[in-house]
Structure 1
Amino acid sequence: MKDNNKFVIIISGPTASGKTAFADKLALKFNGEIINADMGQFYTSFNIGTAKPDWKNGAVKNHLFDILDEPKDFSVVEYKNLVLAKIKEIFNKNKTPILVGGSLFYLKSLYFLPIEFQNKKDNLNLINQDNKIYSWDLLNQIDPERATKIHKNDTYRINRALDIWYNFGIKPSQAEPVFNPEFNSLFIYLNMNKNILHERINTRTKLMFNSGWVQEVEPYINTEWEEFFKKKGFIGYYEIAQWIKNGKQENMLPELINNIVCQTRQYAKRQETFWKSFKLLLQNSNNKRFICKILEINDLEKINLESIKL
């Protein structure tokens, strides 16, 4: 799907930076439709804790929310195929596709071809429920740069990284992606002042609890979803599940909330770190039609939308 005359807008940034509100404004300005790029918001079960917008009732048409209703992985290849189809569909309506979300790993797949490595059978048993931490430690010995970017419970990416090493003798962090975008794009990343971002995270986390986050998690206690919370690292869900199972002790609630706030801040920092390396890849890739624009945003109300051009 090569289209040299039309542009896709991509909006990303750390969690709680105001991507959704900003995207809605841009969609109205550019006659756009929004495509979700937040992993947690793919799942029908995750609403409050993922800050999922009211995507069905807004003024702007939205796509790729609530597309998974069971606890299963959703690969970047699957995501890329769906997104490219949606982009084509939106272009055919003479509208502007606007991708919005903080899952930069998925967004990266739209620019760089995934490196396909085939598993060798004698390496497939490195990862199982009993040796997750051992396997992460093994990866950390081989390639600490890659290990620090993978959660210890993320068996899929640990396994993939180890497989690259054992099959090809290449450190996963050194595997070079191939730049191959299929559309022109304007990439907007919301860099927010750290203190302001932390305050927004504090406020949003408390609002999530007041809006019924605990009640959202309760139906999934002792189901396969509970292990999925932990496996995927969806912030807050597994921790709330454990708090519920331990009797909902009110005196432990402030500690739970603080723990989730701290995890969210750490996640925001990881997003920013990922963006820095991703941005360098984009800037160093040879494509004259690609535009990479970074906006420093501290107050969405003061953004001059007229200054944003395709």
Structure 2
Amino acid sequence: MILVVAGPTASGKSELCCLLAKRLNTEIISADSMAVYRGMDIGTAKPVQCMKEIKHHLVDEVDPGVVFDARMFEERALRAVEDLLRRKKIPLVCGGSYLYLQVLLYGIEDTPPPDWKLRERLYLIARRRGNLWLYQKLLVVDPLYAGKISPNDLRRVVRALEVFLQTGRPFSSFHRWSSPRFQCLCFYLKRSRSVLAERIAQRAQLMIQQGLVEEVRRLMQMGLENFLTSQQAIGYKELIPYLKGEITLSDAVNNIIRNTLQYAKRQMRWFSKQGWIEVDMDALGTEGALSFILEKLKEAGIYPDVSAHGSQG
């Protein structure tokens, strides 16, 4: 049995999972596609204090700029799950990268190795005709996968088209959708759009106060500008024009908020279709959500002594 606690960015996953991991005496497996990178701490909202107390798998795995894809995540996450199960601990998966969650729960068939010449041609087409033109081609050959990603997520658009051109099969056909490979209990942390928008705006301002500008400047000095401008790097790519003197800091922060909201909406659409147990974070708050999840675990026979423990926090 594995436990999944997921939801959109800024929904309160990290705090809740930290409390839950303490109560269950377990470790956290992160399903966050940007938290895998070392040195990208503020912009990815890594739970630094919790990481000192609870072991986090799939965080700080590789240096920025190094390719880390869904297949690599699957392999390492499965090793973490197996290790925890072997030690009689409940694997607690925490995150919002729905493609990573899909891969972990449902698996993915072996896809062909990268064809770098083909990939470069696709990127060249995107530069000449625009991301949207390439995305529209993906909509024709693989509408299922195209519907799960942003038209501006060029890296994933190119990879999906690359696989299709190599194999003649839609990229989505490599995903196994029938049933989860594990027995799992999955929770979706739900927030109203208005509350989530407020939390995202507050978090963006807090990140600036914590030194996000300096973090981005340091990464740029390491020669990582191209990596930071990828569609995934929300919170980083928006500050590069500011550091180049092209826009104001206020404009950059507004762009972070806007792009984060757009990503959160895509996350919410995906999670709302999964049929997972919904946790109303607006109504329950963190402590109430903790009690709610522990009660569900008790009902499932996973945590039968929940009533014997006092609230921690």
Which TM class, normalised by the smaller chain length? 0.7 to 0.9
1:242/1:77 Cα in 2 relative to 1: closer, same or farther (>3 Å)? same
Partner residue of 2:79? 85
Does 1:128 find its partner at 2:123?
yes
Classify the secondary structure of the residue corresponding to 2:27. strand
Q: Contact between 1:126 and 1:159, CA under 8 Å: does it hold in 2? A: no
Partner residue of 1:23 out of 8, 14, 17: 17
Partner residue of 1:302 out of 275, 282, 288: 288
Classify the secondary structure of the residue corresponding to 2:93. strand
- 1:112 is displaced (CA, Å) by 1.7
Q: Contact between 1:9 and 1:98, CA under 8 Å: does it hold in 2? A: yes
Partner residue of 1:293? 277
Classify the secondary structure of the residue corresponding to 1:47. coil
Partner residue of 1:286? none
Cα displacement string for residues 202-240 of structure 1 (whole angstroms, at most 9, x for unaligned residues): 111100001110011111226541101122521121121
Deviates more, 1:46-55 or 1:13-22: 46-55
Cα displacement string for residues 9-40 of structure 1 (whole angstroms, at most 9, x for unaligned residues): 11110000000111112112222211111111
- 1:168 is displaced (CA, Å) by 5.4
1:104/1:176 Cα in 2 relative to 1: closer, same or farther (>3 Å)? closer
In 2, distance between residues paired with 1:184 and 1:169? 33
Partner residue of 1:260? 256
Q: Contact between 2:34 and 2:232, CA under 8 Å: does it hold in 1? A: no
- 1:194 is displaced (CA, Å) by 1.4
1:120/1:265 Cα in 2 relative to 1: closer, same or farther (>3 Å)? closer
Does 1:105 find its partner at 2:99?
yes
Partner residue of 1:66? 60
1:295/1:72 Cα in 2 relative to 1: closer, same or farther (>3 Å)? same
In 1, distance between residues paired with 2:221 and 2:114? 34
Cα displacement string for residues 61-110 of structure 1 (whole angstroms, at most 9, x for unaligned residues): 32221111241221212111111211222223222211111111111111
Partner residue of 1:271 out of 267, 271, 295: 267
| Structure 1 gap segments, 5+ residues each | 1-6, 281-291
Q: Which amino acid aligns with 1:128?
A: Y
In 1, distance between residues paired with 2:264 and 2:223? 27
In 1, distance between residues paired with 2:14 and 2:228? 24
Cα displacement string for residues 151-180 of structure 1 (whole angstroms, at most 9, x for unaligned residues): 455444223322454455555567763446
In 2, distance between residues paired with 1:120 and 1:67? 21
Q: Which amino acid aligns with 2:280?
A: E
- 1:198 is displaced (CA, Å) by 1.0
1:50/1:154 Cα in 2 relative to 1: closer, same or farther (>3 Å)? same
TM value normalised by structure 1: 0.82
Q: Which amino acid aligns with 2:108?
A: P
1:81/1:163 Cα in 2 relative to 1: closer, same or farther (>3 Å)? same
Partner residue of 2:7 out of 3, 13, 21: 13
In 2, distance between residues paired with 1:120 and 1:14? 30
In 1, distance between residues paired with 2:114 and 2:81? 36
Partner residue of 1:41? 35
Q: Which amino acid aligns with 1:211?
A: Q
Classify the secondary structure of the residue corresponding to 2:197. helix
In 1, distance between residues paired with 2:69 and 2:189? 25
TM value normalised by structure 2: 0.81
- Give me the CA root mean square deviation: 2.8
Deviates more, 1:231-240 or 1:130-139: 130-139
